[in-house]
Amino acid sequence: MTIHHQPGRERIDAVRGFNRFYTRQIGLLDEGLLKSPFSLTEARVLYELAHRDRLTATDLARDLGLDPGYLSRLLKKFEERGLVERAATQADARRSSIALMPAGRAAFAPLNQGSHDQVAALLDRLSALEQDRLVKAMQTVQRLLGESAEPKVPYMLRPL
């Protein structure tokens, strides 16, 4: 049984201080993410659409913790710009899946490359040992705060 303790002000201030440090380090305070016209939320939605198939707005809102109304307005803006398209799902015609159009993939590509280059530059300042320590520390943060660092892979308990 785990006993939970109320975090003290010192711990809260330390986490908040780290959050401020890290958001500044990775440029989240800039007007557009990676000098793009996209906000962090917009870029994250593009990322999810670029890396996952057959997503619905419901899936996206749930997985990203976004307000469904806000996500709907964001997707409408993407549709108007020709970045995404919606199509009725085969299982339920009332639901639609969202997919990136070629223009959406083209808009996402420099964001993806810019993010890769930014992280590479951060890591390049560290030795291999320090890089390993940093990655392990980040995995620890993910584990402790509830997000698994391991991708969720379906597995079979027993044959049907």
Q: For the segment 142-157, what is each residue's pLDDT rounded down to a tens digit?
A: 999 985 545 444 444 4
Share of the chain above pLDDT 90, in %: 72
Judged against a pLDDT cut of 70, whether residue 93 lies above it is answered with yes
∠ CA 15-18-20, rounded to 5°: 110
Which domains, ranges and CATH numbers included, belong to the chain? 41-144 (1.10.10.10)
- pLDDT (0 to 100) of residue 147: 59
Q: For the segment 2-18, what is each residue's pLDDT rounded down to a tens digit?
A: 677 888 999 999 999 99
- Please tell me the least confidently modeled range out of 22-31, 56-65, 140-149: 140-149
∠ CA 34-39-42, rounded to 5°: 115
